[in-house]
Structure 1
Amino acid sequence: MRQVTVHAAKTHLSKLIEAALGGEDVVIAKGRKPVVRLVPIPQQPFKIGPLEGELGHGPDFFEPMPDDELDLWEGDR
């Protein structure tokens, strides 16, 4: 475990981030008291369409609107 002070963390943040990404345990301390741990966020690959086929069919926005509904949108009554 690597423990560094806040001042050292400010100075060497990029190196500390790389160390954490490499699996090293990095702790930042105020004086001698540990206060935070630097850990990487797990990266998951982006997946397109995870709910495909589960939501049913939505409205077709390219279909013409019925006249009575169109009148409401346009303010004609």
Structure 2
Amino acid sequence: MTQGDTVLVDDLADFRFFSKDCVLFAALCREDEEEPLVCVDYVDIERHLEFPEPNLKSELSGDELVITAERFARCTDCR
């Protein structure tokens, strides 16, 4: 494989139906012991899920507004 190629590792069809409150997490470990490749996906659309407060912080860095969050932040309002 070359950089940018993709390959199907597994298929969730074997699991049949599972609850929509699940989060899918996958880590593909590398043989060279470099950092593993990680993917997180939500089974339901994000607006249907409840997330903890992200604790947003904002600061001006030169002419850029930098917003950081401790956790996933969905639909943030920067008023």
Q: Tell me the TM-score range normalised by the shorter chain.
A: under 0.3
Q: Compare the two structures and name the one with the higher strand fraction.
A: 2
RCO higher in 1 or 2 (8 Å CA, sep ≥ 6)? 1
Q: TM-score, normalised by structure 2?
A: 0.24
